[in-house]
Amino acid sequence: MAKSYETELPLKACGWAGTDTSGTLSPFNFSRRENGDDDVTLKILFCGVCHSDLHTLKNDWGFTTYPVVPGHEIVGEVTKIGNNVKNFKVGDKVGVGVMVESCQTCENCQQDLENYCPKLVFTYNSPYNGTRTYGGYSDFVVVHQRYVLQFPANLPLDAGAPLLCAGITVYSPMKYYGMTEPGKHLGVAGLGGLGHVAIKFGKAFGLKVTVISTSPNKKSEAIDKLGADSFIVSNDPEQMKAATGTIDYIIDTISADHSVLPLLGLLKLNGKLVTVGLPSKPLELPVFPLVAGRKLIGGSNFGGIKETQEMLDFCGKHNITADIELIKMDQINTAMERLSKADVKYRFVIDVANSFSSL
């Protein structure tokens, strides 16, 4: 029996979806729920293109159900609010990030750590009320008010969109793992969507920031444009050796397979390596350097709603946004190809409102 995506829910919606592991996106008509008492409906203005979108489109992680409409760096304008909604009004500029539902009763939810709720519902590709969630590569979305963020008035909407995933994904571990003491030395491994935002946060926290990258040609950008203090080419043994034991903490944003041993060597004693990239295979963990230096490797997965709002407000205060390349929806497949080659400085953002108006 053919399911009709267009009629399974009451409100007609349109977006772009991937339908197989080629990851190619194409126009897709589907539907969304009515705005309930606790819901906020937003017309999507911009949506960032996250590398996880690409991984999901190609089913790299093995849990994609097609058709999938990606997009979890959503910025939009409120068009409707439910009767119980007090914190938003029509016309407000808001954001929706990586999740749209959680259980609200577990210990993690109670502590504003919905991102670690075992019943977390992602903004796209999650089972939800008999159907699935569809993300921000679409014209509008209906979200429970709890998971909608206030967007800072002074930040540009397009460049602010990537904060909803890239931003919180580095902000959260920087806070949790105590990487915010002015004067300390932060290493940022990998200079892409996540990495470039980590540099900006690091500087805003008053840290010394060193970028660790395989690409020497990123050096002048990193220092002159993004404000990093120094740059190490990770496959240059001399540079790595000279930097041994100089860094207090490292945010590792690299999702390609890579060795952590050299990164551990850069850490001072008691140093912390936090991994936020998602390699598809396990990494190799040399235990001796961990033991001999009481070092730790931690993971972190985007952030809770309260801290996402805190992060956005922090960005508003310090004028932090992403460096973006704005594209139209029908350029998405080319953008994905370029993203797979890391050919973007540093986040594509889809100008959704101006893409769908022409449809």
User: Is 284 a binder of other proteins (CB under 8 A)?
Assistant: yes
Q: Return the number of the residue (97 or 173) whose C-beta is nearest other proteins.
A: 173
User: Is 290 a binder of other proteins (CB under 8 A)?
Assistant: yes
User: Is 215 a binder of other proteins (CB under 8 A)?
Assistant: no
Q: Which of residues 51-90 bind other proteins (CB under 8 A)?
A: 61
Q: Return the number of the residue (197 or 260) whose C-beta is nearest other proteins.
A: 260
Q: Least Å distance between CB 189 and other proteins?
A: 13
Q: Least Å distance between CB 245 and other proteins?
A: 8
User: Is 295 a binder of other proteins (CB under 8 A)?
Assistant: yes
* Binder of other proteins out of 58, 176, 328, 333 (CB under 8 A): 176
| CA angle (199 as vertex; 196, 204 as ends), nearest 5 | 135
Long-range (24+ apart) CB contacts under 8 A made by 104-112 are 104/146, 111/304, 112/304, 112/305, 112/306, 112/307
Radius of gyration over alpha carbons of the chain, in Å? 20
The stretch near other proteins (CB under 8 A) out of 89-97, 152-160, 216-224, 279-287 is: 279-287
Dihedral sign computed on CA atoms, order 10, 65, 300, 161: negative
Angstrom distance (rounded) from CA 277 to CA 33 = 33
User: Is 133 a binder of other proteins (CB under 8 A)?
Assistant: no
* Binder of other proteins out of 247, 276, 320, 322 (CB under 8 A): 276
Find the helix or strand (DSSP H, E) in which 14 lies: strand 11-18
Q: Least Å distance between CB 287 and other proteins?
A: 5
Q: List Cα–Cα distances, 250 to 91, 195, 205, 239, 350, in angstroms.
A: 40, 11, 14, 16, 30
Residues 6+ apart with CB under 8 A from 349: 46, 47, 48, 49, 73, 158, 159, 161, 162, 322, 324, 325, 326, 327
Q: Which of residues 301-320 bind other proteins (CB under 8 A)?
A: 301
Count of residues engaged in binding other proteins, rule: CB under 8 A: 37
Q: Least Å distance between CB 110 and other proteins?
A: 13
Which residues make up the interface to other proteins (CB under 8 A)? 61, 108, 113, 116, 118, 173, 176, 245, 260-261, 269-270, 275-279, 282-301
